[in-house]
Amino acid sequence: MLDTLNRWNERFASARLEDSRLAAQLANYELAFRMQTAAPDLIRIDDETTSIRELYGVDKEPTSKFGRMCLLARRMAEKGVRYIQLFNNDWDGHGECAANHQANADRTDQPIAALLTDLKQRGLLDSTLVVWAGEFGRTPVMQGSNGRDHSPYGFSVWMAGGGVKGGQAIGATDELGFRAVEKKVHVHDLHATMLALLGFDHERLIYHFEGRNRRLTDVFGNVVKEVIS
């Protein structure tokens, strides 16, 4: 079937050699087909060893769901998937924040540690950038029933692998933990740094849209050079 599709694409594209939009569309369809045919083997984790399954915690609670996600992320990285996103959605602790965060930490701590360990032991961590982040932090003052409100003014993100210089903490909040006051890193700075680790200069990665040149960090962003090894 794939050979037939390729022959049809070649004949169709040869009649419209100058149409870059058609070429891009055909490439998208071909990529989608390859993804669909590769997915069954990718998600079949029966071939993983017992030790690996135990490392990620895929066969027990409360780590089963996120452990499987992290294991699939490693398998995707091995297959050459370039960008992988994992989500754990239940951190919104406006009430009973301590219990909420403890339960989520119990679900995610072992699996994410396993992912870093597994990537490293397979020689993949040096070429794989891992970023752990949320949408915002939490205020240091109580909200409602032992909860915390959203706080965009000071929160933590960690990075590993992919050219990151480990073993350091950059920046600090005030004594109450309310807002960043030392070596502040804006979200645009974080994005600029991530792009630099991926080999892109965010100030040159420009596209023209609606009459002006734009970039992924808009008109902001500075690379945090301390992050890069």
pLDDT tens across the length of the chain (229 residues): 556 656 666 666 566 667 788 888 888 999 889 888 888 888 889 999 999 999 999 999 999 999 999 999 999 999 888 999 999 988 888 988 899 999 999 999 999 999 999 999 999 999 999 999 988 889 999 898 889 999 999 999 999 999 999 999 999 999 999 999 999 999 999 999 999 999 999 999 888 888 888 888 888 999 999 999 9
Is 69 a domain residue?
yes
Verify that 115 and 25 share a domain, yes or no. no
Under DSSP, the state recorded for 228 is B
Tell me, what's the pLDDT at 17? Answer: 63
**Angle in degrees, 0-180, between the axes of helices 20-43 and 64-79, rounded to the nearest 10:** 130
Whether the full predicted model's pTM is greater than 0.85, yes or no, is: no
Verify that 140 and 60 share a domain, yes or no. yes
Is 128 a domain residue?
yes
Tokens of 74: 């490693």
Is 81 a domain residue?
yes
The residue range of the domain holding 82 is: 45-184
Distance, CA of 194 to CA of 229 (rounded, Å): 13
Tell me, what's the pLDDT at 23? Answer: 84
Verify that 56 and 88 share a domain, yes or no. yes
Is 56 a domain residue?
yes
Tokens of 179: 């807002």
Verify that 127 and 140 share a domain, yes or no. yes
Is 206 a domain residue?
no
Verify that 12 and 60 share a domain, yes or no. no
Q: How far is CA 33 from the centre of its chain?
A: 24
Verify that 39 and 97 share a domain, yes or no. no
Verify that 97 and 32 share a domain, yes or no. no
Tell me, what's the pLDDT at 14? Answer: 65
Verify that 130 and 163 share a domain, yes or no. yes
Verify that 174 and 95 share a domain, yes or no. yes
The total number of structural domains that make up the chain: 2
